[in-house]
Amino acid sequence: MRYVLTNAEMRAADEFTMESGVSSRTLMERAGKAVAKLAEKALSYLSEKSVAVVCGSGNNGGDGYCAARILAKKGFSVVVFEAFPPKTVECQLENARCRTPRINTLKKGYGLVIDCLYGTGFHGTLNERAAQIVKEINESGAFVLAADIPSGLAGDNGLCAGEAVRADMTAVIGEFKAGHLFNDGPDLCGELRVCDIGIVLPEKDYMRMYAPKDLCALFPKRKSRSNKGDYGRVAILGGSERYSGAPLLGMSAFKAGAGYVRLCVPDCIFSPLIGKYPEAILQKMPSANGVLAYDEAALSEIAAQSDSIAVGMGCCKDREIYRIVRYLLEHFTGTLVLDADALNSLAEFGVNALENKRCTVILTPHVKEFSRLCQTTVQEVCENGAALARAFAKRYGVTLMLKSNATLISDQSRAAVSSAGSPALAKGGSGDVLAGLTAAIAARTDDTLLACACASFILGESAISLSQTLGEYGVCASDLLQEIPKTVKKLESLARIK
């Protein structure tokens, strides 16, 4: 497991490390060595071995001067582009130590360009000179290595307001920052390489990034005398005349190991679904105007016979869906996963229904759905998603899984991020698959944060694997159902090794 830090948390960690006896110059030397090591590795694959290091005025620039000095000492042809005069004491000292030739414009022809213009503290828009330098870096034709984060990218949220360096690789100093993983970050950072320079983190519950070995405990070896009841009873409430196939994608619950899955659909689409998934129990629910209708007796039976219930896939936003959600919140005692139109109905008819509940609740909104729940803008969610998610989860006592190119997960006290994923998931039905996975895993653990992280990992890794054969344009949500067992098998295998 690794951690994902905010800029403020990273500064606090730097200060804490220095208070423990490690000087700022030592940290800069270590960072410079780490960047130089990655540069040397990249150069071993490049035919052109010359290096240009672009240095700014702050400590990120100091890292660059240090890396340039180290690479030159090893015999590489290195020049430094001093974009702005050094301002911090550390940057000034490293500038003085670095005797490599200076240039005042970046031309094409270098094999490697190291971007040390701005660090993770940058936000806003680059000034005219910096924007021109970034443009030169991007047009250089060289392999681009960014020190800590590509210049022009905001470290706290990964947003880019204008020009930004498009790196082939980023040397992540210490720990991941949110900017590496969210919004524009993944498209600009290239390959992320974490560089440990001995930064000590103060005691705090940081945002987590689980590794497969942290998730595999959810797939222990099955006992020979086990039965279907031992692996979770899941109910899927979804579908409508308009979206009749959505609940079938929730059958991913079976692929994640659920022992018993009940598919509860409106009577208007019941007959066409008979036999579509022979392993599932198909239950006919009343409908009104092609949408699930409230039926307290049926809901009471479903609640009594389920460990987890997923609601919302293909339901359509409707007051009847809101009534169903409210009943389950007030009477169900297992884990309730609210997805898609269950969320939209909450946003439309009253999110305060979440305040009166007996069950454990997981919400799975994408950015637009979350903006509706929070009554804010998509831009605000993109800028401050982590803070908004934490505040929402704490206020309503829920676990929130905010879906984007990275998935942010927060419960009342902890937060995690899953970076597994692919643009192949940008298709209708991907969220339905995720809801089924989440319900299945949450049915057999009390740790909803870990369950959500695991479900997101399985979906993302399955999409990555499928993209290698079908391409990102060719993958459909239904394809994921065939790939998920292979991803789960990998976690099973890890659990046995562990």
**Is residue 349 annotated as involved in ligand binding?**
no
Say which residue the tokens 């239950």 belong to: 283
**Is residue 162 annotated as involved in ligand binding?**
no
Contact residues for 439 (Cβ-Cβ < 8 A; gap 6+): 234, 236, 250, 253, 258, 308, 309, 310, 335, 337
**Is residue 432 annotated as involved in ligand binding?**
yes
The number of angstroms, rounded, from the C-alpha of 200 to the middle of its chain's C-alpha atoms is: 24
Alpha-carbon distance of 416 to 407, in angstroms, equals 8
Q: Concatenated DSSP letters for 92-134?
A: HHHHHH--SPEESS--TT-SEEEEES--TT--S---HHHHHHH
The number of angstroms, rounded, from the C-alpha of 52 to the middle of its chain's C-alpha atoms is: 33
Alpha-carbon distance of 308 to 444, in angstroms, equals 9
332: its two tokens: 């169900």
**Is residue 314 annotated as involved in ligand binding?**
yes
Query: Which residue, 319, 339, 365, is CA-closest to 246?
Result: 339
**Is residue 435 annotated as involved in ligand binding?**
no
**Is residue 405 annotated as involved in ligand binding?**
yes
The number of angstroms, rounded, from the C-alpha of 459 to the middle of its chain's C-alpha atoms is: 12
**Is residue 344 annotated as involved in ligand binding?**
no
Q: Are 434 and 403 spatial neighbours (Cβ–Cβ below 8 Å)?
A: yes
**Is residue 39 annotated as involved in ligand binding?**
no
**Is residue 155 annotated as involved in ligand binding?**
no
**Is residue 122 annotated as involved in ligand binding?**
yes
Q: How many CB atoms lie within 10 A of CB 498?
A: 10
**Is residue 123 annotated as involved in ligand binding?**
yes
**Is residue 115 annotated as involved in ligand binding?**
yes
**Is residue 59 annotated as involved in ligand binding?**
yes
Alpha-carbon distance of 7 to 246, in angstroms, equals 40
| DSSP state letter for 47 | S
**Is residue 284 annotated as involved in ligand binding?**
no
Query: Which residue, 484, 487, 475, is CA-closest to 425?
Result: 475
**Is residue 391 annotated as involved in ligand binding?**
no
Contact residues for 232 (Cβ-Cβ < 8 A; gap 6+): 257, 258, 259, 260, 307, 308, 440, 443, 444
Alpha-carbon distance of 365 to 403, in angstroms, equals 6
**Is residue 148 annotated as involved in ligand binding?**
yes
Alpha-carbon distance of 409 to 402, in angstroms, equals 6
Within 139-184, residue ranges assigned H as helices are: 178-181
Amino acid identity of residue 145, one-letter, is L
23: its two tokens: 């000087």
**Is residue 17 annotated as involved in ligand binding?**
no
Facing residues of 191 across strands?
169
Q: Concatenated DSSP letters for 292-357?
A: E---HHHHHHHHHT-SEEEE-TT--S-HHHHHHHHHHHHH--SEEEE-HHHHHHHHHH-GGGGGS-
**Is residue 431 annotated as involved in ligand binding?**
yes
Feature table: binding site for AMP: 403-407, 431
Feature table: binding site for (6S)-NADPHX: 59-63, 119-125, 148, 246, 314, 366, 432
Feature table: binding site: 59-63, 115, 119-125, 148, 151, 246, 314, 366, 403-407, 431-432
Feature table: binding site for K(+): 60, 115, 151
